Structure 1
Amino acid sequence: MAKVLFIAGDFVEDYELMVPFQALQMVGHEVHVICPDKAAGDIIKTAIHDFEGDQTYTEKPGHNFALNADFAGLNPADYDALLLPGGRAPEYLRLNSDVITMVKHFADSNKPIAAVCHGAQILTTADVIRERTISAYPACAPEVTMAGGIYANIAVTEAVTDGNLVTAPAWPAHPSWLAQFNQLLMAL
């Protein structure tokens, strides 16, 4: 089974962290979640985003999530795959040069990378999606295009795989997104 690294931060989308974290463990993968400037046992706050008929998603307080690995000293070469959940965290995580270096390691090594919703913001900043078909929350479509990616305007319940990248617009795509990501993990 694969060893999967998640990069998350405060106000990560609750479902986009909790569900993949539990589901990937359920099928036998080892999963570690890190956050810049935090260590194993530290807490990050999550946010619940919902689609309630407004012009954009709504946001409510989520759960506290205990990290299970240290950011400092982590070697991405020790991991087989990367997962980038969405929410508000990616907008500031992408400003951390160590995060970007880690993402580039996974891309340059052609290791499986899954990103959902605003997780694509980290991929665009890392400059790893040129000429790749990528889905993301629709508000991120201009960023995907400006970074040289091909934005996949798919249903919120769907996901797209392009080589080692598996992306989806939001948490309603979990069944498709996680199934496609798990296929890549099982092929390792």
Structure 2
Amino acid sequence: MKRILFLTGDYTEDYETMVPFQMLEMVGYEVHTVCPDKKAGDTIKTAIHDFEGDQTYTEKPGHNFALNYSFDNIRLNDYHGLVIAGGRAPEYLRLNSKVIEVVRHFFKEDKPVAAICHGIQILTAANVVKGRKLTAYPAVGPEVILAGGEYQGVPVDSAYVDGNLVTSPAWPAHPVFIREFLKIMGATITL
């Protein structure tokens, strides 16, 4: 069974953690949800970001999401892919040197990586987007450009694929975001 490392944290976007986690488990992957300084059984608080016609998204309290694996127990060679959730968590997760090390490992080994919304902030901090084409929540676009990436402005319900990297602006893109990640993971779904 292929194993996926899923990086999330307090005040992650609710849908961008819960929905991809459930979708990936549904198709048969073993998904380890982790957050620095937390262990299996600990919870993180999520936030619901919505698009209600304002100049930016709104934020409401989400759920408590139980992590199922301890960050300190990660053995990078055990994982076939990495998923990074968005929300506010990436702005502080990117300050953790171990998180940066984890991300760099997946890029160095050319393993599949999926990042959504503000999750791309972790990629820019890890210095892995130079020369890559990717998307993000539009407010993160300038960071992509400053990090040497080629920001792709796509609709909020779309994803962008560049080799082993799948990125998306936000949770409305889950169907295409996860479908494209499954493709680069080598999954085949037949009906």
- With normalisation by structure 2, the TM-score equals 0.96
In structure 1, C-alpha distance between the alignment counterparts of 2:63 and 2:186, rounded to whole Å: 30
Give the match for residue 28 of structure 1. 28
Count of residue pairs the alignment pairs up: 188
Q: Deviations over 1:2-23 (max 9, x none)?
A: 2100111100000000000000
* 3-state SS of 1:5 partner: strand
Give the match for residue 166 of structure 2. 166
Q: CA deviation at 1:135?
A: 0.5
Query: Which ranges of structure 2 fall in alignment gaps of 5 or more residues?
Result: none
2:10 maps to amino acid: D
1:50-65 map, 5 Å? 50-65=50-65
* 3-state SS of 2:36 partner: coil
* 3-state SS of 1:39 partner: coil
Q: CA deviation at 1:50?
A: 0.1
Alignment RMSD (CA, Å): 1.1
1:87 maps to amino acid: G
In structure 1, C-alpha distance between the alignment counterparts of 2:151 and 2:40, rounded to whole Å: 35
In structure 2, C-alpha distance between the alignment counterparts of 1:105 and 1:160, rounded to whole Å: 21
Give the match for residue 110 of structure 2. 110
Q: CA deviation at 1:163?
A: 0.5
Q: Deviations over 1:129-166 (max 9, x none)?
A: 11101100000000000000000100001001100100
Give the match for residue 42 of structure 2. 42
- With normalisation by structure 1, the TM-score equals 0.98
Give the match for residue 5 of structure 2. 5
1:85 maps to amino acid: A
**Contact preservation (8 Å) 1:43, 1:67:** yes
In structure 2, C-alpha distance between the alignment counterparts of 1:187 and 1:148, rounded to whole Å: 31
Q: CA deviation at 1:187?
A: 5.5
Q: CA deviation at 1:73?
A: 3.2
* 3-state SS of 2:178 partner: helix
Q: CA deviation at 1:76?
A: 1.4
2:19 maps to amino acid: V
Q: CA deviation at 1:74?
A: 1.4
Give the match for residue 81 of structure 1. 81
Flag as ranges the 4+ runs of structure 1 deviating above 3 A.
Answer: none
1:131 maps to amino acid: G
**Contact preservation (8 Å) 1:2, 1:186:** no
Q: Deviations over 1:19-42 (max 9, x none)?
A: 000000111111010000000000
**Contact preservation (8 Å) 1:4, 1:80:** yes
